[in-house]
Structure 1
Amino acid sequence: MTTRRTDHATASVSRFAQALETAAGPAALSPSSHNCQPWGLGRATSAAARRAAADLTGTDADEYLVLALDRERELTALAAHAVEMEVSCGIYGRILLRGLAAQGWTAAAVRVLDDDGGPGVASGTAGGHPLGAGWPPAWTPLCVVALRPGPPSGERPADLHETALARRTHRGPYGRKPVAPGLLHVLEESGTPGAETPPVHVRHLTERRDLRAFAAFVARYAGRDFGHRAAWRETHSYLRRDTADAAARGDGFTLEQLFGPMSRPRRAAMRLALAPTTMHLLGKAGYHRVLAAGLADLVRRTPAVVTMGFAGQTPARAERLEGGARLADYWWRATRCGLSLHPISIVIQHDDLRGRLERELSLPGRTFFVSRVGVAGSPAPRSHRRADAAVHVSC
């Protein structure tokens, strides 16, 4: 493989750099637990990295991108976070590739790297990394994508960015009007037809008995995370003092995002009550059950709940990334249709609770996403992003 470029090739590289910058904007607005943003993006530009990427994908392409998990930003308090973080990266990757496809850059090949529980290192490579030296040491590479110029997908980059800005997690009350069955059917359709990975199971709970059963489950068990010292300590570390603090840090969430507008005295009281030490003491008096009951009440008054699950109980990395891609398409369509989502991850982040939920609601496979779906009664505050959220690393 040669590294010498003609004027035409140089112009192509410049066009790709511009396209990547445009596509990275909406992708950086992808959702993630606690707004932790655990993804990293690399572009293979050196001769060694391009040769390695070509070998991995089996494709001689114009450009190569590497989707990675940034271990310095991942959640680790619970075992279930390992799957959840890669699903988040899959969401980011899907939105990024849609943005590139809209500008005429087509994914010619995708190679998902092995997920043996290690740092993603391939033996016998320069620098102990499957793509050679120079990559951030905290990054676990998840997949390599080979891209070539092609016809634009038909989506407008401006529309993608507009939808990304409109997509927010709405934790407040939703209207009680049922979501049209036809619309739910559209949301259930796969955004990646013909995918080689096993299907992602999507199910909507709309019958009153199912919604009541799920709300009762939330009331019984959603307090688990509030009482789990390590999990709550990690969650609380992402609670920002106010909007200015969230904007400065570029991640996490505020009390207003969780509970809506509040007075200064109430904000101070809530900050004290949610502090890990205080929460541990209040838990002895059942405060975590009060919080769970409040969440259950929101679920009870929601017109629909969506669940997504992998085909098997031990999804491989390719399935986790595909699950993220499917979730990205679902949330995207829902936003375009005026619907909002509020993930209820707290009931599936402990294996015993997840298994019990799957049995009680007859959910197939391994559930990896549960969320309220409906029309929000008021706008939600936006989540802030890191200053370098749309930046990629070149090696």
Structure 2
Amino acid sequence: MTDPIAAIRNAAATARWAPSSHNSQPWQVEIEPLNSMEMRHVHIRLDETARLRALDALDDEMAISLGLFAGTFCRELGSAGVPYRVSADPPTALTIRVGPAPSRKPEKVQERTDEIRARRTSRGAFSPRLLTVSDRKALQTRQWTGLGIGTAASVQLLEDAVLRQSVAGLLERYGAQDFSHFAAWSETYAHIKFVPASALHEGRGFSIESILGPLSPMRRSLMRIVLHPVTMQFLRPFGLPRAMARSLAELAFGSPALVVLVAEDTRPEFFDLVETGNRLAEIWLTAERQGLCLHPLSVLLQHPDARQALRQALGLSGQPVFIARVGEALQPAPPSPRIPTDALVTYRPPAATAAS
């Protein structure tokens, strides 16, 4: 057995490809010094400089984003044969006891990394292909180990046209509210990169091309102006936010299915949301294996009235904490950038030794 630090770094390098709201990657990994048992304590917490703050509901999204990372991180450790144990570290962090690592490098490390890197968030149109029995079973069956710190939300697949029409109606009704909310849209706009997707390698956010497809330099510059938060406010009386909401509604109704994660409690705890993020990481990768993509519809969860309307429309007793359309993408989505592993992982300095 050896010091697990290499396994920790490899797990972080892979987990940084997990999805997060706006591709904000609001994660920090801190490694404690090695102790005599060749164990490492790893602290995974929200990066206060990267987390989204424009709306209160974004706290839930940040917790789920943390769970997406932590779940992928722990899956990578487990697949590499490295023992670990997760514990809660109130109020917004996890502590993972890791190691020691096996002396021999496990097989298929690159295969697992490639699988996670291949995952995409597809914001374009989906094909009319319906979900198969195999798709449904795969998406609803647990294959990963839970983190053991909370209760994950349950998974519901909505394929009925009437329900999809209800959700589409809510998107058209409430989507404009989000797109015209100055603080919320300013935060979203800050993560949109008005450059070709091929030019994004490191950093946060996503290319405008992931929404609109390939653009000429002139149209890219035009969209930078049109979508600016100040311009959006100016164009609000002329219906631009409503038009954007209508387009999103059409995409949702045209999708073969929606996936909804529903927490038992109407006010889920932080660690239940982190556990839900771990479950969502499993669903997202399972969808990729089935040839499917996810596109979150977060505008229905970021304002209390929209979330309540969604609960009523779907007849839910619990709280919806995630909703996305799911289907086969007509065009492959471009990859999003990622911050370097060295910017993600830090090392806690050893405690000072008292002078004798």
TM-score, structure 1 as length reference: 0.82
Partner residue, 1:189? 141
Q: Does 1:37 align with 2:13?
A: no
Partner residue, 2:40? 63
CA contact (8 A) 2:197 2:207 kept: no
Cα distance between partner residues in 2 of 1:155 and 1:280:
54
Partner residue, 1:327? 280
Cα distance between partner residues in 1 of 2:111 and 2:264:
33
Q: Structure 1 pair 356/296, CA: closer, same or farther in 2 (3 Å)?
A: same
User: Pick from 263, 266, 269: which aligns with 2:219?
Assistant: 266
In the TM superposition, residue 244 of structure 1 has moved relative to its aligned partner by 7.5
Q: For residues 134-283 of structure 1, what are the structure 2 equivalents within 5 Å?
A: 142-149=93-100, 156-190=108-142, 191-192=144-145, 195=148, 197-243=150-196, 247=200, 250-283=203-236
Partner residue, 2:6? 18
- The one-letter code of the counterpart of 2:22 is H
Partner residue, 1:79? 56
Q: Structure 1 pair 246/323, CA: closer, same or farther in 2 (3 Å)?
A: farther
Q: Does 1:98 align with 2:75?
A: yes
User: Pick from 325, 344, 350: which aligns with 1:372?
Assistant: 325
CA contact (8 A) 2:139 2:283 kept: yes
- The one-letter code of the counterpart of 1:31 is P
User: Pick from 91, 112, 119: which aligns with 2:88?
Assistant: 112
* Secondary structure of residue in 1 paired with 2:114: helix
In the TM superposition, residue 298 of structure 1 has moved relative to its aligned partner by 0.9
Cα distance between partner residues in 2 of 1:21 and 1:393:
10
Cα distance between partner residues in 2 of 1:333 and 1:244:
25
In the TM superposition, residue 189 of structure 1 has moved relative to its aligned partner by 2.0
* Secondary structure of residue in 1 paired with 2:83: strand
* Secondary structure of residue in 2 paired with 1:84: helix
In the TM superposition, residue 393 of structure 1 has moved relative to its aligned partner by 1.2
CA contact (8 A) 1:104 1:149 kept: no
Q: For residues 279-290 of structure 1, what are the structure 2 equivalents within 5 Å?
A: 279-290=232-243
Cα distance between partner residues in 2 of 1:229 and 1:30:
28
Cα distance between partner residues in 2 of 1:91 and 1:145:
15
Q: Does 1:302 align with 2:290?
A: no
Query: What fraction of aligned residue pairs are identical, expressed as a percent?
Result: 32
Q: Structure 1 pair 46/171, CA: closer, same or farther in 2 (3 Å)?
A: same
Instruction: Give the unaligned 5+ runs of structure 2.
Output: 349-356
Partner residue, 2:289? 336
Cα distance between partner residues in 1 of 2:336 and 2:6:
25
CA contact (8 A) 1:38 1:85 kept: yes
- The one-letter code of the counterpart of 2:87 is R
Q: Structure 1 pair 193/323, CA: closer, same or farther in 2 (3 Å)?
A: closer
* Secondary structure of residue in 1 paired with 2:192: coil
In the TM superposition, residue 155 of structure 1 has moved relative to its aligned partner by 8.0
In the TM superposition, residue 32 of structure 1 has moved relative to its aligned partner by 0.9
- The one-letter code of the counterpart of 1:380 is A
Q: Which of 1 and 2 has higher RCO (CA within 8 Å, sep 6+)?
A: 2
Q: Select between 231-240 and 288-297 the one with higher mean Cα deviation.
A: 231-240
Cα distance between partner residues in 1 of 2:6 and 2:278:
23
Q: Does 1:293 align with 2:246?
A: yes
- The one-letter code of the counterpart of 2:98 is L
Q: Structure 1 pair 332/244, CA: closer, same or farther in 2 (3 Å)?
A: closer
* Secondary structure of residue in 2 paired with 1:308: strand
CA contact (8 A) 1:240 1:246 kept: no
**Deviations, residues 64-110 of structure 1 (Å, cap 9, x unaligned):** 11111111100000001111111101110111111111111122x32
**Deviations, residues 188-210 of structure 1 (Å, cap 9, x unaligned):** 12333695633411101101111
- The ranges of structure 1 where at least 4 consecutive aligned residues each deviate by more than 6 angstroms after the TM superposition are none
Cα distance between partner residues in 2 of 1:244 and 1:257:
7
Instruction: Give the unaligned 5+ runs of structure 1.
Output: 1-10, 51-59, 116-140
Q: Structure 1 pair 155/82, CA: closer, same or farther in 2 (3 Å)?
A: farther
CA contact (8 A) 1:102 1:155 kept: no
Cα distance between partner residues in 2 of 1:75 and 1:266:
28
Aligned length: 346
CA RMSD of aligned residues (A): 2.4
